[in-house]
Amino acid sequence: MSTVAEKPTTELNEATVRFCGDSGDGMQLAGTQFTTTSALVGNDVATFPDFPAEIRAPRGTKAGVSGFQVHFSSNEIYTPGDVVDALVAMNPAAFVTNIGDLRDGGILIVNESGFDKKGLELAGLDGNPIEEVALHQLEQKYKVYKVDMTKLTRDAVKEFGMGVKEADRCRNFFAMGLVFWVYGRPLEPTLRFIEAKFGKKPEVAGANRAALMAGYNYGETVEAFDTQFHIPKAELKPGKYRSIMGNTALSWGLMTAAKLSEKRLFLGAYPITPASDILHELCKHKNFDIVTFQAEDEIAAMTATIGAAFAGAMSITASSGPGIALKGEAFGLAVIMELPMVVINVQRGGPSTGLPTKTEQSDLYQAVYGRNGECPMPVIAARSPGDCFEVAQEAWRLAVRYMTPVMLLTDGYIANGSEPWRIPQFADLPKIPVTHPEATDGSEQFLPYTRDERLARPWALPGTPGLEHRLGGLEKQDRTGNVSYDPENHQHMIDTRAAKVANIAEDIPLQTVDGPDEGDLLVMSWGGTYGSCLSATRLARKHGKSVAHAHLRYINPLPRNLAELMGRYKKVLMPELNSGQLRTIIRDKYLVDVIGFNKMQGRPFTVAELVEKISEVTG
Amino acid sequence: MSVEMSLPVLTDKDFASDQDVRWCPGCGDYSILAQMKKVMPTLGIPREKIVFISGIGCSSRFPYYMNTYGMHTIHGRAPAVATGLKTVQPDLMVWVITGDGDGLSIGGNHLMHCIRRNMDLNIVLFNNRIYGLTKGQYSPTSPLGKRTKSTPMGAIDNPLHPLSIAIGAEATFVARSIDTNIKHLGATLKRAAEHSGTSFIEVYQNCNVFNDGAWDYAKDRNTKADTTLELEHGKPLIFGKDRDKGIRLNGLEPEVVQLGKGITEDDLLFHDEKALEPSLAYLLSRMRYEDGFPEPIGVFRSVDAPRYDELVNDQIALATKEQGPGELDKLYGSGETWTVA
């Protein structure tokens, strides 16, 4: 092999690769490894894992296709890419469902042996798209590489004496190896991964290593692969980096907030996609004094969270739309008890069970309004995987400053996506001060519903002598917290709870924009659409458009300068992955005729469709 | 000079909050509240270490009347709220006050799971076999045929029996008492308080407005000796005004027998509250007045078992011992990292 002549290298600014195959083919692993490696060589990366809700949908069918897209670049990037430059398809079903996203002239690598009679039937294909006429047509559009990965992998792992089934499980490493060669990625990180993951099973580790090398060498050796691509390092802010997924960043942010406030961390949770990884992550770190409680249902998860908040913990619950709906009654209890806690909704497609593994922003009304009675809760939203770390701390900061449950929104796209994350120093992070009233001799009655200048009430903890008091879901009398049916008091308490949440607007930063301070168009976004909207507005400006971008972290209350800010642009456009929920709220609140751009397909916005909409609106 | 530190001597009055008690006059809840306040000072636990948690219903007003920490929460969820509180602060003594509707209907799931985890909580279920706060609908413990506002032609669903449910979930402490049998009630509450793990007590409680007399057979001075049976650990099951009747096992079925005529105490079933196998306790919970049995009162079962609230904190202690206290900077930098100069 050492005699093989060096192949020419083409330098690219960026590329997008998608691995797709059956959900049992290990495509998520291939994508994750490619992501880590690209980040390690200094590219900026953004990912989009896309998998079916069924753990094992019928093998080889379109329903069972699992994909992982990685966008890597020498520039800062904010999205996983609109179109794919290189597509790896392990079977016909994956080919059929993904080929539409491959750009003209892109690279198509197919596992030839997957395109057998059975595979074609399962994908509902009459003919073989990689044979004869069909192949010619494909080759008109793409650079097609037919690679018999099954056979090549089996040959590569022969010496480890595995059965056919086990040998075929190494195919994803062959595919990885090949794509690693195409984009000049080093194998070492993946070799380290194999050692760490399979080290205890030497034959599995050995076989995966052999398959990876075989794939890489195949690219290097076979003449058909005539060019290797090189994507130089991105110019990121100096510092130490790692790649991080949204749910991990969120979990670490919560752990950080607990330490910054010197609190025990309590998580009450019930398994639900795509929030379960928060439970998985936190239960691994018990040595950080974290109590994780997997409850019998969503309601118990939430009510236990309330009990833990009363006990004085940094108390959180994490779920997704359907689970949040079940917790709804208990949110009211948390609001009237005025106890601090954080409620996380990793949104997914709805209504009902909807699209559990697909992303959407359609729980905004639920977050802002979804409770009985006058029941205001602050709502904030994370914009990217790494941002989850900060937003988790911000949610807890607001919760304790204002003695209120806080709703934190992320979505499936952020939760499972990953990006490079500049590693902070714990000592540099601002503390989150929490105080509790101290013990008394009990000679004076403790008044749990007195208030400070922010209208927050004291957080007195069970176990403190002299502060014995009762909280409850019946309307509270001002100051004493006793049950009160007094009409004036009820109005006063509703007004006070509302004013308390509204006051948060005075405590949060003014809204800023990316782009000109005034102009033709302001694109406003919130949550996981940040990257697409930022990229689209920047691109539109390059095309000469007068457009700025404002991304909202704070949904309730909204930043206090928002009305003034919107007034500086001729038009306001609000792209959302729902039917226009925040747009409706903003129109209602400010009487501004915000234009909507709405998509509910379980997928993020592409930059191209946003740029097109911007052109349409600006004329 | 040594200073003797001791807890201040408290009385039942110290446990009364400043709130007016607002149950209907004559309600059985008053008696339970009075006994609870009497038991509290005997436990040697300071007021601030005690928390009462309830759901919704007449019984669930209870925490407002105790001068301890308390939470009046939402319908059926008190065991779950208590679970969160107790896991975070395991040194608190936590009472859950619930009723037949709150605990067995809307909150049945939480009750079952709380019991199987053996959370260290004392759960008192006030059973009046009716929905009182909503003014008289039938409850999950109302007997078949019961005519109420929501069952004008009679209830057609089989009732649940609270102790059978608790024992089915393998509760480690199960007892029954009666609101008007104040001595017995007080003693039973105290035993429940002293048990480590979930204590589950069913109290026959009279709703004199919507279901008056539901437990008369067990409370009537003239009949109660024949309709109830006071359980004592290690003693034969004997009852009756003249203590001349007993319970004997016939195969797997209990039967009522007359003592004498060749049947001695030794032929009877002996109570063993410490039996690890819960079948005996379950059998006792199935003895029903309508089937011709005296209904047992007292402690059905009292066994030791690991507690969730302890185990969860033990795991934290173990993880901390083995891995050392968590360091965030180490966590942030774990896995593959790279540096941009």
A574-584 pLDDT, tens digit each: 999 999 999 99
Q: Which residues pair with A381 in a beta bridge?
A: A409
Q: Is the pLDDT of residue B120 over 90?
A: yes
Residue A211 backbone phi and psi in degrees, to 5: -65, -40
For residue A603, give the nearest of A99, A94, A79 by alpha carbon. A79
On chain A, the residues whose CB falls within 8 A of the CB of B309 are none
Q: Which residues pair with A550 in a beta bridge?
A: A524
A residues 330-389 closer than 8 Å to B (CB): 330, 332-333, 337
Tokens of A403: 């003695």
E strand or H helix that includes residue A489: helix A487-502
**pLDDT of A391-429, one tens digit each?**
999 999 999 999 999 999 999 999 999 999 999 999 999
Sign of the C-alpha dihedral, residues B9, B15, B17, B18? negative
Q: Average pLDDT in the A330-354 region?
A: 98
Structure-token match 């236990």, residue found = A304
CATH assignment of B12-214+306-315, among 3.40.50.970, 3.40.980.10, 3.90.1150.200, 3.60.15.10: 3.40.50.970
User: Who among B74, B318, B338 is closest to A39 (CB)?
Assistant: B338
Question: Alpha helix locations (H) across B106-211?
Answer: 108-117, 162-168, 182-194
pLDDT tier, B5 (very low <50, low <70, confident <90, very high otherwise): low
* Proportion of chain B above pLDDT 90, given as a percent: 96
Report the Cα B253 to chain-centroid distance in Å.
26
Choice between B1 and B235, residue whose per-residue pLDDT is larger? B235
Structure-token match 């309004």, residue found = A369
Are A370 and A323 in contact by the 8 Å Cβ rule? The answer is no
User: Who among A241, A293, A468 is closest to B84 (CB)?
Assistant: A293
Give residue A122's pLDDT. Answer: 95
On chain A, the residues whose CB falls within 8 A of the CB of B70 are 469-472
Check CB contact under 8 Å for A307 and B82: yes
Max intra-chain CA distance, chain A? 93
pTM comes to 0.94
Q: For strand B50-54 and strand B69-72, is the pairing parallel, antiparallel, or unpaired?
A: parallel
Q: For strand A239-245 and strand B337-340, is the pairing parallel, antiparallel, or unpaired?
A: antiparallel
Q: How close A424 gets to chain B, by Cα (Å)? A: 8
CA gap A296, B80 in Å, rounded: 9
Give residue A58's pLDDT. Answer: 86
Residue A119 backbone phi and psi in degrees, to 5: -60, -40
Q: Is the pLDDT of residue A77 over 70?
A: yes
Give residue A326's pLDDT. Answer: 98
Tokens of A84: 């794919």
Burial code (b: 16+ CB inside 10 Å, e: under 16) for A379-390 equals bbbbbbbbbbbb
Q: How close B48 gets to chain A, by Cα (Å)? A: 5
Check CB contact under 8 Å for A255 and B331: yes
CA gap A415, A361 in Å, rounded: 13
Contacts of B106 (CB under 8 A, 6+ apart): B55, B75, B76
Q: What is the CA radius of gyration of chain B?
A: 23
On chain B, the residues whose CB falls within 8 A of the CB of A287 are 316, 319-320, 322-326
Sheet holding A519-526, edge to edge: A547-552, A519-526, A569-576, A595-598
CA atoms within 13 A on the CB side of A176: 33
Give residue B329's pLDDT. Answer: 98
Sign of the C-alpha dihedral, residues A474, A477, A479, A482? negative
Q: How close B102 gets to chain A, by Cα (Å)? A: 14
Check CB contact under 8 Å for A306 and B337: no
Structure-token match 């998998």, residue found = A51
Looking at residue A191, its amino acid is: L
Check CB contact under 8 Å for A315 and B84: yes
Question: Alpha helix locations (H) across A295-420?
Answer: 298-311, 321-337, 364-369, 387-402, 412-416
CA gap B335, B341 in Å, rounded: 19
Q: Average pLDDT in the B2-25 region?
A: 82
What Cα–Cα distance (Å) separates residue B40 from each residue in A298, A464, B33, B50, B315?
34, 18, 11, 9, 32
Report the Cα B18 to chain-centroid distance in Å.
26
E strand or H helix that includes residue B202: strand B199-204
CA gap A457, A481 in Å, rounded: 10
CB pairs under 8 A between A and B: 216
- What's the mean per-residue pLDDT of chain B? 96
The DSSP call for residue A475 is: P
Check CB contact under 8 Å for A462 and B89: yes
Check CB contact under 8 Å for B77 and A462: no
Contacts of A579 (CB under 8 A, 6+ apart): A362, A596, A598, A600
Are A176 and A182 in contact by the 8 Å Cβ rule? The answer is no
CA gap A310, A337 in Å, rounded: 9
Are A213 and A174 in contact by the 8 Å Cβ rule? The answer is no
CA gap A327, A345 in Å, rounded: 11
Angle of the A202-221 helix axis to the A188-198 helix axis, nearest 10: 160
What Cα–Cα distance (Å) separates residue B151 from each residue in B75, B138, B209?
22, 7, 17
String of DSSP letters for A602-617: SSPPPHHHHHHHHHHH
Check CB contact under 8 Å for A425 and B329: yes
Exposed / middle / buried, residue B1 (Cβ in 10 Å: 0-12, 13-18, 19+): exposed
CA gap A45, A72 in Å, rounded: 4
Give residue B262's pLDDT. Answer: 94
Q: Does B60 touch chain A (CB under 8 A)?
A: no
Q: Average pLDDT in the B9-33 region?
A: 94
Q: Does A196 touch chain B (CB under 8 A)?
A: no
Where on the phi/psi map is residue B135: left (φ > 0), alpha (ψ -120 to 50), or beta?
A: left
Q: Average pLDDT in the A351-374 region?
A: 97
Check CB contact under 8 Å for A483 and B313: no
Give residue B99's pLDDT. Answer: 98
Decide: helix, strand or coil at residue A269. strand
User: Who among B49, B326, B337 is closest to A242 (CB)?
Assistant: B337
Looking at residue B180, its amino acid is: T
Exposed / middle / buried, residue A344 (Cβ in 10 Å: 0-12, 13-18, 19+): buried
Burial code (b: 16+ CB inside 10 Å, e: under 16) for B182-197 equals eebbbbbbbbbbebeb
Q: Is the pLDDT of residue A2 over 50?
A: no
CA gap A172, A60 in Å, rounded: 15
Q: Does B86 touch chain A (CB under 8 A)?
A: yes
Per-domain residue ranges of chain B: 12-214+306-315
Q: Average pLDDT in the B183-201 region?
A: 98
Q: How close A254 gets to chain B, by Cα (Å)? A: 11
Give residue A1's pLDDT. Answer: 43
pLDDT tier, B225 (very low <50, low <70, confident <90, very high otherwise): very high
CA atoms within 13 A on the CB side of A49: 27
CA gap B275, B281 in Å, rounded: 8
Give residue A217's pLDDT. Answer: 97
Check CB contact under 8 Å for A463 and B312: no
Give residue A42's pLDDT. Answer: 92
Are A218 and A178 in contact by the 8 Å Cβ rule? The answer is yes
On chain A, the residues whose CB falls within 8 A of the CB of B52 are 470
pLDDT tier, B7 (very low <50, low <70, confident <90, very high otherwise): low
The DSSP call for residue B76 is: T
Residue A229 backbone phi and psi in degrees, to 5: -105, 150
Check CB contact under 8 Å for A307 and B64: no
**For A248, which residue in chain B has the nearest alpha carbon?**
B332
- What's the mean per-residue pLDDT of chain A? 96
Residue A514 backbone phi and psi in degrees, to 5: -100, 115
* Proportion of chain A above pLDDT 90, given as a percent: 95
On chain B, the residues whose CB falls within 8 A of the CB of A332 are 74
User: Who among A239, A295, A313 is closest to B80 (CB)?
Assistant: A295
Q: Does A206 touch chain B (CB under 8 A)?
A: no
CA gap A249, A410 in Å, rounded: 11
Q: Is the pLDDT of residue A120 over 80?
A: yes
Q: Which residues pair with A346 in a beta bridge?
A: A410
User: Who among A238, A290, A297 is closest to B109 (CB)?
Assistant: A297
Give residue A3's pLDDT. Answer: 46
Are B45 and B68 in contact by the 8 Å Cβ rule? The answer is no
Are A113 and A147 in contact by the 8 Å Cβ rule? The answer is no
Give residue A4's pLDDT. Answer: 52
E strand or H helix that includes residue B295: strand B295-302
On chain A, the residues whose CB falls within 8 A of the CB of B69 are 310, 462-463, 468-470
- Domains of chain A (ranges; CATH) run 9-230 (3.40.920.10), 243-428 (3.40.50.970), 435-507 (no CATH), 519-618 (3.40.50.920)
Q: Does A462 touch chain B (CB under 8 A)?
A: yes
**pLDDT of A209-250, one tens digit each?**
999 999 999 999 999 999 999 999 998 899 999 999 999 999
Check CB contact under 8 Å for A241 and B322: no
Tokens of A489: 């008091």
Q: How close B35 gets to chain A, by Cα (Å)? A: 20
Looking at residue B226, its amino acid is: D
On chain A, the residues whose CB falls within 8 A of the CB of B311 are none
Are A201 and A162 in contact by the 8 Å Cβ rule? The answer is no
Q: Is the pLDDT of residue B1 over 50?
A: no
The DSSP call for residue A192 is: H
The DSSP call for residue A558 is: P
On chain B, the residues whose CB falls within 8 A of the CB of A329 are 74
Q: What is the CA radius of gyration of chain A?
A: 27
Check CB contact under 8 Å for A295 and B340: no
Give residue A6's pLDDT. Answer: 75
